[in-house]
C-alpha cells in the first residue's frame, strides 16, 4: 500500500461519508450493487461484513453472465472462435491484475482459488525447494490461519522453526521485536499487510527492508489491503504478494499469487497435470515457466474475467478516493461506537484500515450478531480465523464491522441503533 488508508490526505472532495461529491458519488456507487437495495426482515440490508467477502457490482455480474451467454469455452487449447475469445478475455484478466499491482510482467501473476491456495502454493513449492531443518520463517501474531497453518505443516515436515512477531495492546506490529527475531537463519518473513481481525496496518515497507538486509524473502498477505488502497509491488520491493478476488468485489474461486519471475521459475510446481507441462513422456516430464507452471488443469475462467472487471471497477473510482471515503466512515464509526455504554474496541492501532472489532459488555458476540441481524445489519462474529489474536486479547470471539467502498455513515448509524437495542435487551 503506498498510503495506508488512514493516512491518506483528506481533501474537501473526498472525506464526506454519505454525501455525494464530484469525486465520490456514493449513491451512484451503491446503485451499482443490486444486493444493496434489497431488504432483509423488512429492513434495508446494511452489509458490514466486507472483510469476509464483498458484494459484487452489476458490472461484474454482467461480465460473468456474458462469458457464459456469449463466448464461453476452455482456454489455451482450442483453435475455434469461442476458445480464442475466452483465452483473450482470461489473459486480459491476468493483464489487469498485473497493472493493478504494478507487476513488471504478466507472467508473474498466478491465478489460484484464493489467498489460502496462494500461500499454500508458496509453502509447498518455494518451501519444499528452498527450506531445510533449522531455517526460520517469521510470521506475526495477527495472521489469519491461512498464513499460520501452512508454515506449521512445513515445520512438522522439514523441521524449520517458526517465529512470531508479537503485537502490543493496541494491536500494533511490534517492530523492535521483529528486528530482534531477524537473523541469518531467517529465510522468509510472511506477514499480513492489514489484519483482518483488528484492522491494523503493518509497516510493510520497513518490514521488507529489514528482511532483505538479512537476505530473507518477504511474502505479504494482501487480502485485507487491496480493497482499501493502492498496492505497488515494485515500490514495496516485496517478493510474493497474495490476495483473494472475492474481497475485492470480484467472484469467489479466484485469487492471485504474484511473485518475482525468477523466483517463480526456480520453484517446483505445486499441482501437476494438464497445461503446465512442456513435454511428457513416460520417462520424463518438463514444465512450462510461470504462470502456466503453477496453473495445472482447467482454471476458473469466468472468475478470472470477472476479477479483471472488478479491478476495472475499483480503478475507475480510484483507490485513493476509496481509501479516503472509507477512512471517513471508519473515523465516524469509531467515534459513534465508543458512545455505546460497555462497548470496547479491540484493535486501536496507529494505522488502521476500515475494520472494527468490538466487544459489548455482557453480550456474547454470537447473540449480538443474531440480534443486529434482525435489524438488517450484517456483521461477522467469531474468531475471524485468527484465534491467536483472540487469545492475545483474552476473548473467545469478537463482533466485527468491516466497511467497503459503498458503506455510508447512515449505515453506521443503523449499526449503532441496533447495538443500543441489543444492549437494552440483554442489559
Q: How many CB atoms lie within 10 A of CB 159?
A: 12
Q: Under the criterion CB under 6 A, does residue 409 sit at the interface with ligand 7TS?
A: no
Asked if 163 interacts with ligand 7TS (CB under 6 A), we say no
C-beta of 26 vs 345, nearer to ligand 7TS: 345
Coil, strand or helix: which one is 412?
A: helix
- Please give the DSSP secondary-structure letter assigned to residue 289: P
Q: Which residues pair with 161 in a beta bridge?
A: 136
What are the angstrom distances between the C-alpha of 309 and each of 63, 122, 171, 369?
Answer: 7, 26, 34, 32
The DSSP-derived string for 210-276 is HHHHTT-EEEEE-TTTTTTS---HHHHT-SEEEEEGGGGTS-SS-EEEEE-HHHHHTSPPSS-STTS
Q: Which stretch binds ligand 7TS (CB under 6 A): 9-17, 93-101, 139-147, 156-164?
A: 139-147
The verdict on 221 binding ligand 7TS (CB under 6 A) reads yes
Q: How far is the CB of 196 from ligand 7TS (least distance, A)?
A: 3
Instruction: Name residue, grid cell 442489559.
Output: 427
For the record, the C-alpha cell of 357 comes out as 472489532
149 lines the binding site for ligand 7TS (CB under 6 A) = no
Nearer to ligand 7TS among residue 15 and residue 402 (C-beta): 402
Count residues binding ligand 7TS (CB under 6 A). 17
The 91-130 site mask, x for binding ligand 7TS (CB under 6 A), equals -----------------------xxx--------------
Name the minimum Å distance from CB 52 to ligand 7TS. 3
Does 146 interact with ligand 7TS (rule: CB under 6 A)?
yes
C-alpha cell at 190: 510472511
Q: Could you say which residues in the range 281-300 bind ligand 7TS, by CB under 6 A?
A: none
- DSSP summary character for residue 46: E
Out of 6, 244, 321, 407, which residue is the one contacting ligand 7TS (CB under 6 A)?
A: 244
DSSP state of 65: H
Contacting ligand 7TS (CB under 6 A), which of 52, 162, 174, 181?
Answer: 52
Nearest to 111 by CA among 276, 315, 294: 294
Report in angstroms how near the CB of residue 78 gets to ligand 7TS at its nearest.
30
Q: Does 269 bind ligand 7TS (CB under 6 A)?
A: no
Query: Closest distance between ligand 7TS and the C-beta of residue 308, in Å?
Result: 18
* Cβ 118 to ligand 7TS shortest distance, Å: 8
Residue 261 · residue 290 · CB < 8 Å:
yes
Under rule CB under 6 A, residue 408 binds ligand 7TS: no
Q: Are 33 and 56 in contact (CB under 8 A)?
A: yes
Indicate which single residue of 121, 189, 223, 300 sits in contact with ligand 7TS (rule: CB under 6 A).
223
We find the least distance from the C-beta atom of residue 55 to ligand 7TS, in angstroms, to be: 14
Strands 217-221 vs 240-244: parallel, antiparallel or unpaired: parallel
290-to-83, 219, 275, 284 alpha-carbon distances in Å: 21, 17, 11, 19
Choices 69-77, 80-88, 216-224, 359-367; region in contact with ligand 7TS by CB under 6 A? 216-224
Q: How far apart are the first and last CA of the chain?
A: 42
**Residue 385 among the catalytic residues:** yes
Task: Select which of 317, 340, 385, 395 is catalytic.
Answer: 385
Which residue, 53 or 265, has its beta carbon nearer to ligand 7TS?
53
Q: Which of residues 369-398 bind ligand 7TS (CB under 6 A)?
A: 380, 384-385
**Nearest to 334, CA basis, from 311, 358, 309:** 358
Q: Is 224 in the site for ligand 7TS (CB under 6 A)?
A: yes
196 lies in the site for ligand 7TS, by CB under 6 A: yes
The span of 99-107, 141-149, 304-312, 367-375 binding ligand 7TS (CB under 6 A) equals: 141-149
Q: Is 56 in the site for ligand 7TS (CB under 6 A)?
A: no
What long-range pairs does 81-86 form, CB within 8 A, spacing at least 24?
86/301
Closest CA to 121 of 238, 245, 301, 268: 268
Can residue 144 be called a binding residue for ligand 7TS (CB under 6 A)?
yes
| Largest distance between two CA atoms of the chain | 72
Candidates 60-68, 221-229, 298-306, 367-375 — which segment interacts with ligand 7TS by CB under 6 A?
A: 221-229
In 111-128, which positions are buried (b, 16+ CB within 10 angstroms) versus exposed (e)? bbbbbbbbbbbbbbbbbe
For ligand 7TS, which is the closer residue by CB, 301 or 381? 381
Segment holding 330, helix H or strand E: helix 319-337
Q: Enumerate the active-site residues.
A: 385
Binding residues for ligand 7TS, per CB under 6 A?
51-52, 114-116, 144, 146-147, 192, 196, 221, 223-224, 244, 380, 384-385
Amino acid at each position: 500500500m503506498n498510503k495506508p488508508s488512514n493516512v491518506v490526505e483528506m481533501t474537501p472532495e473526498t472525506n464526506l461519508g454519505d454525501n455525494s461529491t464530484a469525486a465520490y458519488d456514493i449513491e451512484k456507487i451503491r446503485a451499482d450493487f443490486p444486493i444493496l437495495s434489497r431488504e432483509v426482515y423488512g429492513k434495508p440490508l446494511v452489509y458490514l461484513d466486507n472483510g469476509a467477502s464483498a458484494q459484487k457490482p452489476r458490472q461484474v455480474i454482467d461480465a460473468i453472465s456474458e462469458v457464459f451467454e456469449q463466448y464461453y469455452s476452455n482456454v489455451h487449447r482450442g483453435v475455434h472462435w469461442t476458445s480464442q475469445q475466452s483465452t483473450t478475455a482470461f489473459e486480459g484478466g491476468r493483464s489487469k491484475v498485473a497493472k493493478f499491482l504494478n507487476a513488471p510482467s504478466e507472467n508473474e501473476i498466478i491465478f489460484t482459488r484464493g489467498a489460502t491456495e496462494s500461500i499454500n502454493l508458496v509453502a509447498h513449492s518455494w518451501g519444499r525447494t528452498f527450506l531445510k531443518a533449522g531455517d526460520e520463517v517469521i510470521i506475526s501474531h495477527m495472521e489469519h490461519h491461512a498464513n499460520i497453518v501452512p508454515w506449521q505443516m512445513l515445520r512438522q515436515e522439514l523441521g524449520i522453526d517458526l517465529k512470531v512477531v508479537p503485537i502490543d495492546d493496541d494491536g500494533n506490529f511490534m517492530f523492535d521485536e521483529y528486528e530482534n527475531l531477524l537473523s541469518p537463519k531467517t529465510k522468509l518473513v510472511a506477514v499480513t499487510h492489514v489484519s483482518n481481525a483488528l484492522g491494523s496496518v503493518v509497516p510493510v515497507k520497513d518490514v521488507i527492508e529489514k528482511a532483505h538486509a538479512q537476505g530473507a524473502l518477504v511474502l505479504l498477505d494482501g487480502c485485507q489491503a487491496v480493497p482499501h488502497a493502492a498496492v505497488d509491488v515494485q515500490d514495496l520491493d516485496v517478493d510474493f504478494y497474495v490476495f483473494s478476488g472475492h474481497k475485492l468485489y470480484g467472484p469467489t474461486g479466484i485469487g492471485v499469487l504474484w511473485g518475482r519471475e525468477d523466483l517463480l521459475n526456480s520453484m517446483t510446481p505445486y499441482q501437476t497435470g494438464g497445461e503446465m507441462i512442456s513435454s511428457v513422456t513416460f520417462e520424463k516430464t518438463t514444465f512450462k515457466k510461470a504462470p502456466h507452471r503453477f496453473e495445472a488443469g482447467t482454471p476458473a475462467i469466468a472468475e478470472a474475467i470477472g476479477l479483471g472487471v472488478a479491478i476495472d471497477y475499483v480503478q475507475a473510482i480510484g483507490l485513493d478516493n476509496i481509501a479516503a471515503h472509507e477512512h471517513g466512515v471508519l473515523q465516524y464509526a469509531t467515534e459513534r461506537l465508543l458512545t455505546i455504554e460497555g462497548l470496547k474496541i479491540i484493535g486501536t492501532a496507529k494505522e488502521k484500515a476500515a475494520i472494527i472489532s468490538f466487544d459489548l459488555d455482557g453480550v456474547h458476540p454470537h447473540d449480538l450478531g443474531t440480534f443486529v441481524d434482525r435489524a438488517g445489519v450484517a456483521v461477522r462474529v467469531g474468531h475471524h480465523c485468527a484465534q491467536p489474536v483472540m487469545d492475545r486479547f483474552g476473548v473467545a470471539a469478537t463482533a466485527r464491522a468491516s466497511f467497503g467502498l459503498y458503506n455510508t455513515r447512515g449505515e453506521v448509524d443503523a449499526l449503532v441503533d441496533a447495538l443500543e437495542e441489543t444492549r437494552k435487551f440483554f442489559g
